[in-house]
Structure 1
Amino acid sequence: MKRLGPSFTFEKQPTRHPGLDGARGLAVLAMVMGHTLDALLTPAARALPWVQHYWAFRGVTAPLFLLVSGWAVVAALGTKPTAARDTYGRRVRRALLLIFLGYLLHWPGWGAVRDLGWTERMLTHVFAFDALQCIGFALLLGSTLLALAPVRWGRAGVLVALAVGIPLASAALWRLGSGLPGPLQQFIGSAEGSRFPFFPWAGFFFAGALAAHALHLLRPGWPQGLALLALGAGLLALTRTVPSDWSPTSPWMVAYRVGQGLMVLGAVSLAPRRLSGLLAPFGRLSLWVYVLHLPVVYGWADIAGLASRVGPTLSVPAAVGVGVALLVTCSLVAKVGQWLSAQARPWRAGSTTLAASVGSARVGTRV
């Protein structure tokens, strides 16, 4: 008779949210295609009705990216009371990396810096604020406050205050920041050229973090997916009770886009694993696909990108083909870079395997 007993495996157990990487992959796909089409489509192609509909959907891409980033941060903490303090150092390093990469992508080159001189205009240009800096500073602020907050009620209180307070305070801070130095104006949002200022865009990050905390007791998949759909639909219904406001500091705009983002995350959570599995690899490489594709499309320093070399000259099929090729190429380069990094640091792979085997043994013992 076959004996039943605990089974042990040395393979790393899947711990990632089933819809999280899929939603992030969808955002990456829409982001790369949106940037490519924006840079290369002819004016006639941009005027096509279905392209206009795609442009309307594209408005949720950046909010979804920030929303999922905040969700991932809090979801990774789990239910351990001291998790925020235990992982604080690693999260600070991650935040600093994001901030560094964000500013590096907007480096105008030594020639531009020399021509502008040591002026307010040069500092504003060099310290242009974008999505990576927004996520980096939000991660830095959120990790610090969560590490300092009381264990029982502190996490929920901090996340509610940040998710609600940042959008509500944005308009006032934009007015107060008008006389500050250029880099600070870029951070706040009152300076021209700040694409994703901390106020109000960090509100999307903390809204995702708050949703992850509120729904962490539900099982990933259908339970969380249905809850996300209900929460997103409720938020969208709430925005219909007040006049719409699409100004850049509008709390209404943040609430509306958060509602849309939660519904997208819920839909991906409910999608078959095969579908989300097709998007998940792009989601796991999202940071490096973002970093690699921007210089190719828009250029970096004094090196011209596709926007300057090709310009708005392509039809829809040609531009889509370029976008798909760019997405696949950046993903392959990122994957090869990850492999080379793992080969250069074999001790990390060994420690990961050991940790996975110990965790598997514990699970088998409990069973």
Structure 2
Amino acid sequence: MKRLAPSFTFEKQPDRHPGLDGARGLAVLAMVMGHTLDALLAPAARALPWVQHYWAFRGVTAPLFLLVSGWAVVAALGTKPTAARDTYGRRVRRALLLLFLGYLLHWPGWWAVRDLGWTEAMLSKVLSFDALQCIGFALLLGATLLRLAPARWWGRAGVLLALAVGVPLVSAAMWRLGVGLPGPVQQLIGSAEGARFPFFPWAGFFFAGAFAAHALNLLRPGWPQGLALVALGAGLFGLTHLMPSDWSPTSPWMVAYRVGQGLVVMGAVNLLPRRLSGLLAPFGRLSLWIYVLHLPVVYGWADIAGLAGRVGQTLSLPAAVGVGVALLLVCALVARVGRWVREQVRPWRTGSTTLGSTVGGARLGTRV
């Protein structure tokens, strides 16, 4: 009797180059450490020169996080012309998940909602805008436009380039138009106070990473993509030095400057030996859940105080770094255990998906 070939296998396939996951891992590592140090470092420790240099480096953390998220989304499409249409439903679901998690992290608690009442202040507080919301809305917009765009190389390239350049350029005008609109809309646009990563101009980082992934998708990961990313980032970084600097929150110059820095970092991680970038890759594959887990611990959630409220800015530099490292490892462990439990409960999903996990909805691993 003829045996039928199995439709899937649980055997592990060869891993992809860990450079992209390593860059995402570096971003989430810097983010966890930055949040922890900001919440716990004593004033005397903050004044140390080494710490001041670190604060300057922190400026590239969030742009790098968004860049790699945009890269991951488009890299997963590959070169198949119909990929944007075939995966549209999955990407919409992923975007909705990101929006749900982003708003859930900022839930102020029932007592705060009751005290504020049904007011503009309450809606603005409940619907405060942050990084996950920015990625979620960018993913939703990008996936929709790519689905409608011509299924050719230039179609995708045109859409992504227009978004990467257009979002920063119109940011100042959008902020002005947003004045007087409902609070949640101002949070999204950026004209309201408290919006940490408003869509304008922060979505520009997401779309810049997406465009870079599309432009370089024919190059192999590792040295070819690494050298191209370093060259592209260095060129953009050098171009910004020929223009007047502008650090205002709606500045296209600021976006271009940080994109150049982020692309150089992504390229440098790709150029590292696989053993070194592979040390960061596990954190990159769990970056969404590490991000979600560490924020309530550091800053609290609803009416439950976090480290910032319970400990405050009282620790020395070694103690604060130790807390940050421990928090990163514990969050990664919890996320890994959660993934394992999910795989045991839904083993069929293991066989039908890919090995990598995502922040922006991409599935980058080799199909099983």
Equivalent residue for 1:38?
38
Paired position in structure 1 for 2:197: 196
Shift in Å at residue 14 of structure 1? 3.9
Residue identity matched to 1:24: R
| 1:24-63 alignment runs, 5 A limit | 24-63=24-63
Q: Which residue of 2 aligns with 1:130?
A: 130
- How big is each residue's C-alpha offset from its partner over 1:181-208, in whole Å with a ceiling of 9 and x where there is no partner? 0000000000000000000000000000
Distance 1:348 1:73 in 2: 20
In 1: Cα distance, 2:75 partner to 2:193 partner: 35
Deviations 1:286-334 (A, max 9, x none): 0000000000000000000000000000000000000000000000000
Separation in 2, partners of 1:128, 1:148: 30
Correspondences of 1:130-149 after superposition (within 5 Å): 130-149=130-149
2:270 is matched by which residue type in structure 1? S
Larger CA Rg, structure 1 vs 2: 1
> Deviations 1:198-257 (Å, cap 9, x if unpaired)?
000000000000000111111111111001000001001110111000000000000000
Q: 1:275 to 1:260 in 2, by over 3 A?
A: same
Aligned to 1:6: none
Alignment of 1:199-238 (within 5 A): 199-238=200-239
Structure 2 residue aligned with 1:3: none
Q: Give the Å deviation of 1:349.
A: 2.5
Once residues 208 and 347 of structure 1 are traced to their aligned partners in structure 2, the CA distance between those partners, rounded to angstroms, is 32
Aligned to 1:316: 317
Equivalence for 2:74? 74
Amino acid of the structure 1 residue aligned with 2:66: L
Give 2:35's aligned amino acid.
Answer: H
Structure 2 match to 1:114: 114
Residues 80-119 of structure 1 show CA distances to partners (whole Å, capped at 9, x for unaligned) of 0000111111111100000000000000000000001111
Residue pair 2:10, 2:350 contacting (<8 A) in 1 also = no
**Alignment RMSD (CA, Å):** 1.4
Distance (whole Å) between structure 1 residues aligned to residue 14 and residue 128 of structure 2: 38
Deviates more, 1:146-155 or 1:242-251: 146-155
2:332 is aligned with 1:331: yes
Q: C-alpha distance in 1, partners of 2:209/2:264?
A: 12
Residues paired across the two proteins, number: 348
The equivalent residue for 2:349 is 348
CA offset digits 1:234-284 (Å, max 9, x no partner)? 001110111000000000000000000000000000001111111000000
Shift of 1:350: 4.0
SS of equivalent to 2:293: helix
- CA drift at 1:154: 1.3
SS of the equivalent of 1:179 reads coil
CA, structure 1 residues 95+17, in 2 after alignment: closer, same or farther (shift >3 Å)? farther
Percentage of pairs with the same residue: 86
SS at match of 2:179: helix
Unaligned runs of 5+ in 1: 1-8, 361-367
Provide the residue aligned with 2:297 in structure 1. 296
Match of 2:306 in 1: 305
The gaps in structure 2 that reach 5 residues or longer are 1-8, 355-365
**How far has the Cα of 1:359 moved from its partner?**
6.8
CA distance in 1 between partners of 2:118 and 2:273 (Å): 55
Distance in structure 1 (CA, Å) of the matches to 2:14 and 2:81: 22
Whether the 8 Å contact between 2:353 and 2:367 is mirrored in structure 1 is: no
Distance 1:349 1:359, change over 3 A: closer
Question: One-letter code of the match for 1:136?
Answer: G
Instruction: State the alpha-carbon separation in 2 of the partners of residues 330 and 343 from structure 1.
Output: 20
Residues of 2 paired with 1:350 and 1:10: CA distance?
6
SS at match of 1:60: helix
Which residue type is aligned with residue 61 of structure 2?
T
How far is the alpha carbon of 1:343 from its aligned partner?
1.1
> Which residue is equivalent to 1:271?
272
The residue type equivalent to 1:280 in the other structure is A
Deviation at 1:19, TM superposition (A): 0.9
Task: Name the structure 2 match of 1:253.
Answer: 254
C-alpha deviation, 1:18, in angstroms: 2.8
Q: Which amino acid aligns with 1:177?
A: G
SS of 1:212's equivalent?
Answer: helix
CA distance in 2 between partners of 1:155 and 1:61 (Å): 27
Stretch deviating more after TM superposition (14-23 or 163-172): 14-23
> So what's the TM-score if we normalise by structure 2?
0.92
Give the Å deviation of 1:347.
2.1
Task: Give the whole-Å Cα distance in 1 for the aligned partners of 2:10 and 2:92.
Answer: 30
Aligned to 1:5: none
Cα distance in structure 2, aligned partners of 1:349 and 1:217? 28
CA–CA distance in structure 2, aligned partners of residues 211 and 325 of structure 1: 34
- Which residue of 2 is the match for residue 96 of structure 1? 96
CA gap of 1:74–1:17, structure 2 versus 1, over 3 A, is farther
